[in-house]
Structure formats: structure tokens, C-alpha cells
């Protein structure tokens, strides 16, 4: 995962379904008691960019104003052999990360 990131799952076990209210509450807990909590910069990332896009739309729809996401995700798009990590993505592009 990217260095210095905070893990807040958009979907998680056991049902792998989004729980928007839990997600928003967790984000607010990490941001803390800032006066302009909805204006705090938030950058989202997931494996391929799809879940982070959905999570970002949820935040924007709930009043957050400074939200972006890594379009190609951490692992990037599929290549011709349906493998990730060879075309683009955070790791492929040489951005800092560590194995967890």
C-alpha cells in the first residue's frame, strides 16, 4: 500500500457491500475535530480505481469538497494476459509503497 496512508475500507468482510454511513463516520474519526472537516483533502486509492471512485462519490454526495482518487489504482489496469501491475497504477509508476 502507499506509504503514510490510512486504511478505511469502502467494502469489507463479511458481505463485501458498501456501508456508506460507516465509511463516512470512519473518515471523520481519522480527520478529527477540524473546523473545516468537509474541506480536508482526501485522496482515495484501491486496487484498480473503481472502489475508490465509488467511495469518493459517496463523500462528495455527503458534503466533502476536496476529494480525489487515483484513477488507475494501486495495481492498475489489466494487461493482455488479464494481469495487473504491468500497465499503470501507483506501484507500476514508481510511487512509494510498502508490503503489509
Please tell me the predicted confidence (pLDDT) of residue 85: 93
- Domains of the chain: residue spans and CATH: 1-100 (3.40.250.10)
Please tell me the predicted confidence (pLDDT) of residue 100: 74
Please tell me the predicted confidence (pLDDT) of residue 34: 73
Span 56-75, pLDDT tens digits: 999 999 999 999 999 999 99
* Alpha carbons 52 and 61: distance in angstroms, whole number: 14
C-alpha cell at 86: 504491468
Please tell me the predicted confidence (pLDDT) of residue 17: 96
> What parts of the chain have a pLDDT lower than 70?
1-2
Is residue 32 exposed (0-12), middle (13-18) or buried (19+ Cβ within 10 Å)? exposed
Amino acid at each position: 500500500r502507499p506509504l503514510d496512508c490510512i486504511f478505511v475500507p469502502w467494502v469489507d468482510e463479511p458481505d463485501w457491500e458498501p456501508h456508506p454511513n460507516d465509511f463516512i463516520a470512519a473518515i471523520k474519526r481519522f480527520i478529527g475535530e477540524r473546523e473545516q472537516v468537509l474541506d480536508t483533502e482526501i485522496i482515495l486509492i484501491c486496487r484498480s480505481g473503481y472502489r475508490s471512485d465509488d467511495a469518493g462519490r459517496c463523500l462528495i454526495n455527503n458534503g466533502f469538497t476536496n476529494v480525489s482518487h487515483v484513477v488507475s489504482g494501486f495495481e492498475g489496469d489489466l494487461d493482455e494476459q488479464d494481469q495487473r501491475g504491468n500497465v499503470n497504477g501507483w506501484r507500476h509508476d514508481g510511487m512509494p509503497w510498502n508490503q503489509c
